[in-house]
Amino acid sequence: MTTGSRYIFVTGGVVSSLGKGLASAALGALLIARGFSVRLVKLDPYLNVDPGTMSPHQHGEVFVTEDGAETDLDLGHYERFTGRAACRGDNVTTGQIYTQVLAAERRGDYLGATVQVIPHITDAIKRFIAEKEGSADFVICEIGGTVGDIECLPFLEAIRQFGNEVGPARALFTHVTLLPYIASAGELKTKPTQHSVKELMSVGIRPGVLLARADRSIAAEELRKISLFCNIEPGRVIPALDVGTIYEVPLTYHACGLDREVLRYFGLNAPAPDLSTWADIVRRAKAPEGEVRIAIVGKYTDVRDSYKSLYEALDHGGIASNVAVRAQMVDPEGDVEAQLEGADGVLVPGGFGARGVESKITAARWARQKRVPYFGICYGMQVAVIEAARALGGIPDATSSELGPGGTPIVGLMTEWEKGGAAVRRAAGGDKGGTMRLGAYPAVLAPGSLAARVYGRAEISERHRHRYEVNIAYRGALERAGLVFSGLSPDGRLPEVAERPDHPWFIGVQFHPELTSKPFAPHPLFTSFIAAAVAQGRLV
Ligand code: GLN
């Protein structure tokens, strides 16, 4: 390919939650299948420096990258669809841009100039985008929020300028909108899309490709109408219909000509993509041979996005075993044991704070006693260890210092750990943002352990996001309680994996394996957990 990256900007209109992230990720997958290299980045208009301090209730899961950035959950989609690990430089927020500009202002870098949104903020945004130059054939750049939001404006202005500077031969604007179905008229309506494109044009951006989301097929007449009113070539109004599984999106976009039109826009030729892997994933996801019921004891029972990667990783495990995973959220405020009844597997995911913790401990006990597969992730490992210490380790008041004073804190605040050969230190009362043990750290697995068998190797590297850690000083008592620390940090100080050899499948991990699972490469812990749940289902 000729020098210089091509930039594809993805904006959204009409309503939020249209799946821009998914659309960007699927387009990335298609371009990769055509033999190009792709980098996906996300510009987020909110003022938080990163989503690490935002409630998953409001903003969905916080996705952690290899290099320890707390980022938007769309980066999870990008990784799951492209297989390429995202990094800190793939996500920026208004908060980060302003922090940068204000620091420069205080240093006196602007030499007496009045610091303004245009050009200083927009320049900082353009610099962020331009940093990706040459790193891939295509840079797909998604802009969070909805066109028309005040917060979006500096980003739209920046990408408009950027598009002008690199020229239309190297920049394409794509816009994702919604065609709502109006039951009384029996029609999909194009007017909101027309208005949204008008809004975009009013800030100087003319979309070259439009992805029209709809819950039913769009008549050729309606597509023609959009093309005419929105000034977009007929073949470039792509119907983006709801699908049964998100992994079908690359296939449906391809069938509607998205990748063909994108390449035609840039004047590029490429062989037809081989999408057989995606077709196979969809076939398996749509025709499972059975079902397993996984009870999830978490905090956010109502918002699926709060555990986005977790649900996806469970589905990947299901695809590997040809079963559908029926994930059932357990209400920690209700009767936990009654809700667990009939579960083929119990999963306690990551979490923070004291709310619902006793219910999680109850779930770990129930799974241990009933010999039902148990998978504890981060907080889920810590509660399983507390449960064992209380019931079997002779420490009836075992607790975590995260839960407040009192009791024996067998899980304590980490004040020091090692990163790349250097000690990282944290004070108890320090900042909350970005100060956890974040990103990929290695661990060494005990030979012959379940963990070592599941991974098929002795050394692993997994992503972390936690402030507390099981205190290795209690190892003796915990081993007497039947737990084995089958994974440790290389210096032997931080327990990374705990398991119960007296149980069919009981593992707690201090890290987040769900973040790296892919539909075409399910994480081995999820594959093994679902396989154990399938075996459990056969027992009852
Ligand atoms: N709250 C626990 C800690 O900070 C667990 C974190 C998590 O589950 N991600 O250590």
Minimum-distance ligand 1 atom for the alpha carbon of 352: 1
Whether residue 352 has its Cβ less than 6 Å from ligand 1: yes
Look at ligand 1, atom 7, and give the residue with the nearest C-alpha.
350
Cα of 139 from ligand 1 centre, angstroms? 34
For residue 435, what pLDDT is reported? 75
Strand ranges for 219-288 from DSSP E: 237-241
Cα of 312 from ligand 1 centre, angstroms? 20
Look at ligand 1, atom 1, and give the residue with the nearest C-alpha.
352
What does the block give as tokens for 236? 């470039």
What is the CA angle 522-523-528, rounded to 5?
Answer: 95
What does the block give as tokens for 32? 């990769």
- Homologous superfamily in CATH for domain 6-281: P-loop containing nucleotide triphosphate hydrolases (3.40.50.300)
CB atoms within 10 A of CB 187: 13
* Cα→Cα distances 500→205, 244, 479, Å: 58, 38, 9
Minimum-distance ligand 1 atom for the alpha carbon of 377: 8
Cα of 352 from ligand 1 centre, angstroms? 5
Q: 518: which DSSP letter?
A: B
Catalytic-labelled residue, pool 378, 387, 464, 503: 378
Whether residue 463 has its Cβ less than 6 Å from ligand 1: no
Cα of 380 from ligand 1 centre, angstroms? 9
Whether residue 315 has its Cβ less than 6 Å from ligand 1: no
For residue 17, what pLDDT is reported? 82
Catalytic-labelled residue, pool 77, 464, 503, 512: 512
Per-residue pLDDT of 273-305, as tens digits, reads 999 999 999 999 999 999 999 999 987 666 778
Cα of 362 from ligand 1 centre, angstroms? 18
| Ranges in the chain annotated CATH 3.40.50.880 | 289-539
Angle between helices 191-202 and 220-230 (to 10 degrees): 20
Q: 223: which DSSP letter?
A: H
Whether residue 426 has its Cβ less than 6 Å from ligand 1: no
For residue 58, what pLDDT is reported? 76
Contacts of residue 437, defined as CB under 8 A and 6 or more positions apart, other chains included, come to 414, 417, 424, 464, 465, 466, 467, 469
CA-based Rg of the chain, rounded to a whole angstrom? 25
Whether residue 493 has its Cβ less than 6 Å from ligand 1: no
For residue 2, what pLDDT is reported? 47
- Give CA–CA dist 382/199, Å, rounded: 50
378 is catalytic: yes
For residue 310, what pLDDT is reported? 96
Query: Are 221 and 237 contacting, i.e. CB atoms less than 8 angstroms apart?
Result: no
Residue 439 CA from chain centroid, whole number = 14
Pocket test for ligand 1, best of 300, 468, 469 (most atoms within 8 A of CB): 468
Whether residue 468 has its Cβ less than 6 Å from ligand 1: yes
Whether residue 379 has its Cβ less than 6 Å from ligand 1: yes
Whether residue 310 has its Cβ less than 6 Å from ligand 1: no
Whether residue 499 has its Cβ less than 6 Å from ligand 1: no
| Ranges in the chain annotated CATH 3.40.50.300 | 6-281
Class of the CATH-defined domain 289-539? alpha beta
pLDDT by 10s per residue, the chain, length 540: 547 999 999 999 988 888 999 999 999 999 999 999 999 999 999 998 888 888 877 778 999 999 999 999 999 999 999 999 999 999 999 999 999 999 999 999 999 899 999 999 999 999 999 999 989 999 999 999 999 999 999 999 999 999 999 999 999 999 999 999 999 999 999 999 999 999 999 999 999 999 999 999 999 999 999 999 999 999 999 999 999 899 999 999 999 999 999 999 999 999 999 999 999 999 999 999 999 999 999 876 667 788 999 999 999 999 999 999 999 999 988 999 999 999 999 999 999 999 999 999 999 999 999 999 999 999 999 999 999 999 999 999 999 999 999 999 999 887 766 666 676 776 666 666 667 899 999 999 999 999 999 999 999 999 999 999 999 999 999 999 999 999 999 999 999 999 999 999 999 999 999 999 999 999 999 999 999 999 987 754
Q: Which amino acid is at 231?
A: N
Whether residue 378 has its Cβ less than 6 Å from ligand 1: yes
Pocket test for ligand 1, best of 61, 70, 348, 382 (most atoms within 8 A of CB): 382
Cα of 402 from ligand 1 centre, angstroms? 9
Minimum-distance ligand 1 atom for the alpha carbon of 351: 8
Whether residue 350 has its Cβ less than 6 Å from ligand 1: yes
Look at ligand 1, atom 6, and give the residue with the nearest C-alpha.
466
Contacts of residue 415, defined as CB under 8 A and 6 or more positions apart, other chains included, come to 425, 426, 427, 428
512 is catalytic: yes
Catalytic-labelled residue, pool 142, 312, 499, 514: 514
514 is catalytic: yes
List b or e across 54-93, with b for residues whose CB sees 16 or more CB atoms inside 10 angstroms: eebeebbbbbbbbebbbbbbbbbbbbbbbebbbbeebbbb
